[in-house]
């Protein structure tokens, strides 16, 4: 079924020049379309909303520090089974546990700096798209 999801190429991906690689993998999937895309340095207020579920975790403060450390590329991708699909492309949260062939598995080592965010459910996708692209 047709879905939409929020994808972020995180600051480490921008710094390392991996944005093209990440977008290229998404673009090549059959029937998926980029419907919003912006290079943006995320501010703390936006990140606090986005990562509300992680408040109180030991990784929360360093996560916000990292995510605001430079520009990210924020995008909306639409298409067939795109929510689970982008998470499969991304691989497991810990890059060392992500399979080869996934973005994190191929390029990541650090858990925090895991290159990409992808919404984990339809509810998360709608919530997150509203935070980053309120006009949609």
Hey, which residues between 60 and 89 contact ligand CMP (CB under 6 A)?
63
Among 3, 5, 72, 114, binds ligand CMP (CB under 6 A): 114
Q: Nearest distance from residue 105's CB to ligand CMP, in Å? A: 14
Span from 28-36, 68-76, 108-116, 125-133 in contact with ligand CMP (CB under 6 A):
108-116
Q: Per-residue b/e over 110-128, b at no fewer than 16 CB within 10 Å?
A: eeebbbbbbbeeeebbeeb
Nearest partner of 18 among 123, 114, 129, judged by Cα:
114
For ligand CMP, give the closer residue by CB, 11 or 79. 11
Neighbours of 75 (CB within 10 A): 22
Binding residues vs ligand CMP (CB under 6 A): 59, 63, 93, 111-112, 114, 117
């Amino acid at each position: 079924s047709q879905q939409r999801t929020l994808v972020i190429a995180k600051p480490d991906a921008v710094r390392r020049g991996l944005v093209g690689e990440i977008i290229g993998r998404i673009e090549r999937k059959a029937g998926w379309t980029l419907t919003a895309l912006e290079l943006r340095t995320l501010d703390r207020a936006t990140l606090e909303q986005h990562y509300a579920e992680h408040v109180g975790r030991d990784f929360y403060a360093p996560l916000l520090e990292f995510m605001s450390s430079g520009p990210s590329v924020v995008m909306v991708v639409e298409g067939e089974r795109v929510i689970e699909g982008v998470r499969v492309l991304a691989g497991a949260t810990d890059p060392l546990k992500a399979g080869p062939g996934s973005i994190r598995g191929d390029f990541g080592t650090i858990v925090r700096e895991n290159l990409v965010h992808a919404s984990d459910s339809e509810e998360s996708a709608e919530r997150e798209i509203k935070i980053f692209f309120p006009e949609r």
